[in-house]
Copies of this chain bind each other. A is one copy, B any other.
Amino acid sequence: MTMTRNDCLARDANDPLAAFRSRFALPQGVIYLDGNSLGARPVAVAARLSRAVEQEWGEDLIRSWNSADWIGLPTRVGDKIGRLIGAHPGETVVADSTSVNLFKVLAVALGLRPGRRRIVSQRDNFPTDLYMAQGLAAFLGQGHEVVMLPDDPDADAVVAALDGETAVLMLTHVNYRTGRIHDMARLTAAAHAAGAVVIWDLAHSAGALPVDLNAAEADFAVGCGYKYLNGGPGAPAFVWVAARHQQSVVQPLSGWMGHAAPFAFEAEYTPAGGISRYLCGTPSVLATTALECAVDLLLEADMETIRDKSLALTGLFIERVEACCPQLTLASPRDPAIRGSQVSFHHAQGYALMQALIARGVIGDFRAPDIVRFGFTPLYTSYREVWDAVEILSELLESGAWDRPEFHARAAVT
């Protein structure tokens, strides 16, 4: 079945998520396919943040810790995110960055497997995950090794890497470059069979597709607030710890907000009983408030409906690019069952091509060395936009208009 642009318009008209589009502030003349890097702004965030700034901070000042329940923000928003990832209440907390949270859970995970020295991951895990593991291993100085499987390993390759020396399997559920989804349940079970624990990075999963950490019997997870959760640039991250692990090893970033009684101002650290012990310093109230507002919007939708539309959008994009842009090679899984909410293609001059595309109003991003990456957010991306984006991409490739010096000049952030 070949679609037409009119078919796209018809699908938009029948889209059960269509009403969400107006809940996001999107610029005119732009097709935004980069919500996997920075989610678009929910309209409601502006007023919510103004209230936090003007009323809660400006008028109520320090009293807002109680009156506006600032103190409850991290666990309240954590539990809301928990509903998107198969968490039970009390297993998720918003805190710090994904990187810092990874350090916490990795430290605890190693503590749970004191005799083992291998941290198994993959070379194309998101770099900060690898860097944090490397930093932790070097700091401990106990001979821990970060084993990096070759790029984009399938499940068999991961399972084969697990052995009696493996303390932790540390993977990102949806690969940031290719969008490939790991089989969380199978790999968790395999890790457990090898006597290891598992850390899942949900940066490209939470809010993008259904996740069920407890069904998979996962151990630890971290994730990002500013991608599919739309929490704003550099939004706080979250950390999930299975209830069975919460009373075990104490995480080493033992700041006062994770103390059992922060306002007793005791000189010795006593960890809070539950997930709150994964808090460290004072959380950013403004940033967490913006994130809460965005998560509230996401919770109005149904993750299965989001997933259905996501696969329809990515499937259409692949079909159209392969039909119109022979210069590009698919880097993402063709099989929808293992494809996240993004599609990537290889192009030798991907950086310049993406700059040219952005100049034409189609915003995706580039990931070294040769990936052009497009994210699809079902709450605000339309079928018509997918069609038009490929038309523009095809026209650029056909005309060679992307290959100009100004598009090759590298900016600080790609």
Are A97 and B45 in contact, CB atoms less than 8 angstroms apart? Answer: no
Copies in the complex: 2
CA distance A285 to B290 in the complex (A): 12
Q: Is A256 on the interface with B (CB-CB < 8 A)?
A: yes
Q: Which of A50, A252, A411, A414 has the most CB of B within 10 A?
A: A252
Partner of A97, one of B27, B267, B282: B282
A163-171, A258-266, A337-345: which lies at the interface = A258-266
Residues of B with C-beta under 8 A to A236: 284
Contact A27–B59 (Cβ < 8 Å)? yes
Q: Is A99 an interface residue (CB 8 A)?
A: yes
Task: Tell me if B412 and A71 are in contact (CB < 8 A).
Answer: yes
Enumerate chain B residues within 8 angstroms of A70, measured Cβ to Cβ.
233-234, 413
CB-CB under 8 A for A281 and B27, given A46-B54, A138-B252: no
Count of residues in A whose CB is under 8 Å from the partner chain: 95
Q: Which residues of B contact A333 (CB under 8 A)?
A: none
Which residues of A in the span 279-309 have a Cβ within 8 Å of any Cβ on B? 280-288, 290
Q: Which of A102-147 contact B (CB under 8 A)?
A: 103, 107, 123-124, 126-128, 130-132, 134-136, 138-140
The answer to whether A368 and B234 touch (CB under 8 A), given A53-B49, A135-B254, A287-B284, is no
Cα distance A290–B53 when bound, in Å? 10
Please measure, in the bound complex, the distance between the C-alpha atom of A257 and the C-alpha atom of B57, giving whole angstroms.
Answer: 29
Given A46-B53, A253-B99, the answer on whether A234 and B285 have CB atoms closer than 8 Å is: yes
Write the chain B residue with the least CB distance to A411: B66
**Contact flags A352-367 to B (C-beta < 8 A → 1, else 0):** 0000001000010101
Known: A50-B50, A135-B251, A135-B269. 6 other contacts (CB 8 A): A46-B58, A103-B252, A130-B267, A131-B256, A135-B252, A234-B284
Chain A interfacial positions (CB closer than 8 Å to B) = 25-27, 30, 32, 34, 37-38, 40-41, 45-46, 49-50, 53-54, 56-66, 70-72, 96-100, 103, 107, 123-124, 126-128, 130-132, 134-136, 138-140, 148, 226, 232-237, 250-257, 259, 262-269, 280-288, 290, 358, 363, 365, 367-368, 411-414
Rank and list the top 7 A-B pairs by shortest CB-CB distance, nearest first: A97-B281, A135-B254, A99-B255, A99-B281, A139-B252, A233-B285, A128-B256
